[in-house]
């Protein structure tokens, strides 16, 4: 499915300063793999050695935290928007 990914400031060096990237993927995990093939090095920034999303990275699909959905198995639909946002803020 064609979806939109919003890239946070710390990762824009990898995306050549692109703030929004259009990709095609069926799941969040698939989207991360697709980003990696297009922007090598981005995967290790988002996921740890075990493959899980790093604990200080929050990923949202249409503004819902994927931890309230099916994590990396969360299915994507045409026109969905993925936001990647540093978790450390607030309080």
Partner 1 sequence: MEKHAGFMKALKCRECGREYPLTANHVCDFDFGPLEVVYDYDRVKQTLTRAAIQARPKSMWRFRELLPVAGNPTVGLEVGCTPLIKADRLARRLGIRELWIKNDTVNYPTLSFKDRVVSVALSRAKELGFTTVACASTGNLANSVAANAAAAGLKAYVFIPADLEQSKVLNSLIYGATVIGIKGHYDEVNRLCAEIAGKYPWAFVNVNMRPYYAEGSKSMGFEIVEQLGWRIPSNTVVCMASGSLLTKIHKSYQEAIKMGLAPQAAYRVHGAQATGCSPISTAQKAGLDFFKPVKPNTIAKSLAIGTPADGFYALKVMKETNGRADDVTDDEIRQGIKLLAECEGIFAETAGGVTVGVAKKLIASGAIPADDAAVLCITGHGLKTLDAVAGHAGYTREIKPSLREFESLLDAETRSPARV
Q: Which of residues 65-84 bind partner 1 (CB under 8 A)?
A: 65, 67-68, 83
Helix (H, G, I), strand (E, B) or coil at 64: strand
Do 31 and 47 meet the contact criterion of CB atoms below 8 Å apart? no
Q: Distance of CA 56 to CAs 17, 22, 66, 68, 87, Å?
A: 22, 24, 13, 16, 5
With respect to partner 1, which residue has the nearer C-beta, 22 or 89? 89
With respect to partner 1, which residue has the nearer C-beta, 23 or 59? 59
Q: Which of residues 12-41 bind partner 1 (CB under 8 A)?
A: none
List contacts with partner 1 (CB under 8 A).
8-10, 45, 54-58, 60, 63, 65, 67-68, 83, 85-91
């Amino acid at each position: 499915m064609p979806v939109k990914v919003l890239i946070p400031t710390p990762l824009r060096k990898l995306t050549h300063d692109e703030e929004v990237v259009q990709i095609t993927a069926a799941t969040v995990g698939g989207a991360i793999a697709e980003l990696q093939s297009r922007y090598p090095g981005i995967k290790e920034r988002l996921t740890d050695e075990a493959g899980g999303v790093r604990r200080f990275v929050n990923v949202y699909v249409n503004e819902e935290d994927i931890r309230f959905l099916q994590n990396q198995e969360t299915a994507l639909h045409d026109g969905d928007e993925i936001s990647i946002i540093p978790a450390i803020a607030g309080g």
